[in-house]
Structure 1
Amino acid sequence: MKSVLVIASSLLVATPVAAQQVEVDPDEIIQSVEAWAQDNLDDRRLDELGVDKDRVRGFLAELRQRFQGTYVYDLGALKETAAQILPVLQNFEETRPYAVWLQTHLDYFDVAEELRRAVKFLPEKPPSSPLPGPSPQFQRSVWVGELKTRLPPPPAVDCVPRLKQIFADEKLPPQLVWVAEVESSFNPAARSPAGAVGMFQLMPTTARSLKLSLAPEDERLQTGKSARAAARHLRRLYARFGDWRLAFAAYNAGENRVDSLLKKSKARSFDAIADRLPAET
């Protein structure tokens, strides 16, 4: 909801407010996180910090699962653990890109808690299990409250003008560059446990389809090339769905998933499928 809200809002004003072309298999996510943790988390250093390596690995796997899930309230339960794990990721050079990604997503936990607190029940009607999901309209109102006083990330000052020129060259509204705030806080080093990399968090398959090289040098880490690729990807998604909210839902959740939900719902709007999209979207 954050990505859709921020970009939809940016289309109305001139100031600011991760799987893409392929669906992401949760089992593959868990395997990739476990492999990454095995290679990058040093037991001795973690012991010095008083942190359990298995806990870090388990948290990252659970986080990706919950972001890919559709039950937004689930995210709130991870807030405290996220706050404890973040300094661990920041402490190691190898894991700082993952810390950037996690830092960018911390407000999802706050919003999930706010949404949960807003659920009210009549005394004679105990809460059902599970709770019904909040409406798209209510989620938007909570996100507006969360973001309305937020200042742009410091890197935005230097990079936004250049990014806007690239998006304009690709015949897109320049304000759409703010997708990089949602994805990475404008940090080109950001890396998600699912494999998305760079300021615009492009997945490997998407990057290759956009003619970006992943080796020997990963061009997703190059701001100019990744921005142009993201702009072209967004332009194609908009041409396919004809709606910016759906285009950004597809950018985040995968276009095949969005297309399938629209067909099953016999609908053409974001709100009609919002409750079946991943919580991160």
Structure 2
Amino acid sequence: MRRLKLCFALIAAGLVAAPVQAQDLELDLEEMAQSVEAWAAENLDEDALRVLREADREQVNRFFTELQKQLHGEYVLDLAGLKEAARAVLPLLERYEETAPYAAWLKPRLDYLEVADQLVLKLPPPRVEPGQPAPPRTNPPPALQQEIWVRKLAREPWPAPAKSYVPQLKPIFKQAGVPPELVWIAEVESSFDARARSPAGAAGMFQLMPATARQYGLRTTWPLDQRVKPELCAKAAAQHLAYLHRQFKDWRLALAAYNAGEGTVRNALKRQRAGSFAAIAPRLPAETQMYVPRVEAVLLR
């Protein structure tokens, strides 16, 4: 009953939709055409990956580069093709302490690939008539994505660390003027694992990019990276969410901007002459298209 009341309260506040119905990393889809080699050289930590055998290291490099390309690409369904590769790479990363932060980042993102696979079954490719050009590709609407996320999460337990972290961190969000239930974005970002580090440089339970973290007073250089401190990371994340909500006056847009960057969302709104997440979702990076429905489904669980 308590969870049901919470869902109704969030719906009334405009934070989540009824069930059926990143920050400073500016993602411009036109810029994502950089080569595989250039992206890997710029973003992947070779010192951490050096513990892997050469063949495994090459496999991880190729996978991370392709995953980043598809997460930042236009089409959600393209993520489905990486599901098996992700399952093969994850045990390699979990094997060593040096690569465990990458594993902690990848693990919750397996869900994106699995849901994309389910969406492929829901949205088979359109029929192409003989002699006619293939119809344009489309993305699944946010409402359908949320429906699948809700069903998936209903079968899964909460991340084990959530039991202690959620009551500990909720007051931090409340103090920042953010709905305390949004502490659950840590499940989406890292499964409440403070070690998580993305290939693009985000770190901590709430996956803050270095520039965003420094904006809220955190140190981001090793060995004093404060993003791995749950309370400090939560405080910066809550302050950033509060800022984004002041900018967009809409929680879905604020969440989209938290994931994709403020500029990415603002530019999409301008290009589409729109004012809602649903209106711009097909023009956002694939990860962001899935991120907002996923957060909403977590809150509805």
TM range (shorter): 0.7 to 0.9
Whether 1:76 and 2:80 are equivalent positions in the alignment is: yes
SS at match of 2:201: coil
Q: CA deviation at 1:117?
A: 1.1
Q: CA deviation at 1:144?
A: 1.7
**Partner residue, 2:23:** 20
Structure 1 contact 202–220 (Cα < 8 Å) conserved: yes
Structure 1 contact 46–88 (Cα < 8 Å) conserved: no
Q: CA deviation at 1:72?
A: 0.5
Comparing 57-66 with 22-31, which one deviates more in the overlay?
22-31
**Partner residue, 2:4:** none
Gaps in structure 1 of 5+ consecutive residues: 1-7
Task: In structure 2, give the amino acid aligned to 1:274.
Answer: A
* Correspondence list, 1:59-98, <5 A: 59-98=63-102
Whether 1:39 and 2:38 are equivalent positions in the alignment is: no
Give the Cα–Cα distance (whole angstroms) in 1 for the partners of residues 128 and 24 of structure 2.
47
**Partner residue, 2:154:** 148
Structure 1 contact 11–176 (Cα < 8 Å) conserved: no
Give the Cα–Cα distance (whole angstroms) in 1 for the partners of residues 139 and 231 of structure 2.
39
Give the Cα–Cα distance (whole angstroms) in 2 for the partners of residues 198 and 122 of structure 1.
41
User: What's the RMSD between the two structures over aligned residues?
Assistant: 2.7
**Partner residue, 1:3:** none
Whether 1:246 and 2:250 are equivalent positions in the alignment is: no
Give the Cα–Cα distance (whole angstroms) in 2 for the partners of residues 256 and 30 of structure 1.
26
Structure 1 contact 184–200 (Cα < 8 Å) conserved: yes
Structure 1 contact 34–57 (Cα < 8 Å) conserved: no
**Partner residue, 2:187:** 181
Q: CA deviation at 1:46?
A: 2.4
**Partner residue, 1:167:** 173
Q: Deviations over 1:17-75 (max 9, x none)?
A: 9x4124146449964643635322337x526xxx5422211111111111111211111
**What TM-score comes out, normalization by structure 1 length?**
0.86
Task: In structure 2, give the amino acid aligned to 1:135.
Answer: P
Q: Deviations over 1:198-245 (max 9, x none)?
A: 000000111111111113501111111110110000001001101100
Count how many residue pairs are aligned between Structure 1 and Structure 2.
267
SS at match of 2:66: helix
Whether 1:57 and 2:61 are equivalent positions in the alignment is: yes
Structure 1 contact 10–178 (Cα < 8 Å) conserved: no
* Correspondence list, 1:116-265, <5 A: 116-120=120-124, 125=129, 128=134, 131-215=137-221, 217-265=224-272
Structure 1 contact 78–109 (Cα < 8 Å) conserved: yes
SS at match of 1:231: helix
Gaps in structure 2 of 5+ consecutive residues: 1-6, 13-18, 289-301
Structure 2 contact 170–181 (Cα < 8 Å) conserved: yes
* Seq. identity, %: 46
Give the Cα–Cα distance (whole angstroms) in 2 for the partners of residues 134 and 214 of structure 1.
37
**What TM-score comes out, normalization by structure 2 length?**
0.81
Comparing 169-178 with 127-136, which one deviates more in the overlay?
127-136
SS at match of 1:11: helix
